[in-house]
Amino acid sequence: MYGRIELTRVDDDCWRLCDGALPQSDPSRIIAFAEKKNGHVTLLWLRQRSGQQDFATFEQALRATEATVYELDGQRTERPRPIPHFPPLAG
């Protein structure tokens, strides 16, 4: 465990990164998969961000993951933005 990020080895060069503050039954606890290849670490983001991002070290990848988790915490405390509703156009 790194801070509140839980690491689970998937295979020799791949790890699953989860938010340890969320229950095991919550599918949104999986944040990313980290794969070490060609001398760098690639994160495949599953939460908040999308796509993949490369890092020089595993430590940098973990710091980015933690920053994403704490960024999400800040968003959870905000009220939802209202969706504007308009009456149908008269035809």
- Reported as a single tens digit per residue, the pLDDT across 31-67 is 999 999 999 999 999 876 678 999 999 999 999 888 8
Name all contacts of 79-88 with Cβ < 8 Å and 24+ positions apart.
none
Query: Is there a domain that residue 50 lies in?
Result: yes
Q: What is the pLDDT of residue 70?
A: 73
Say which range, 15-19, 26-30, 60-64, 72-76, has the weakest mean pLDDT.
Answer: 72-76
Of residues 72 and 86, which shows the higher confidence score? 86
> 4 falls in which pLDDT band (50, 70, 90)?
confident
Query: Is there a domain that residue 81 lies in?
Result: no
Query: Is there a domain that residue 83 lies in?
Result: no
Q: What is the pLDDT of residue 13?
A: 95
Of residues 89 and 8, which shows the higher confidence score? 8
Query: Is there a domain that residue 49 lies in?
Result: yes
Query: Is there a domain that residue 87 lies in?
Result: no
Query: Is there a domain that residue 32 lies in?
Result: yes
List strands edge to edge, sheet with 40-45: 5-11, 14-19, 30-37, 40-45, 51-55
The number of distinct structural domains making up the chain is 1
The residue range of the domain holding 62 is 5-76
pLDDT of residue 74 exceeding 60, the answer is no
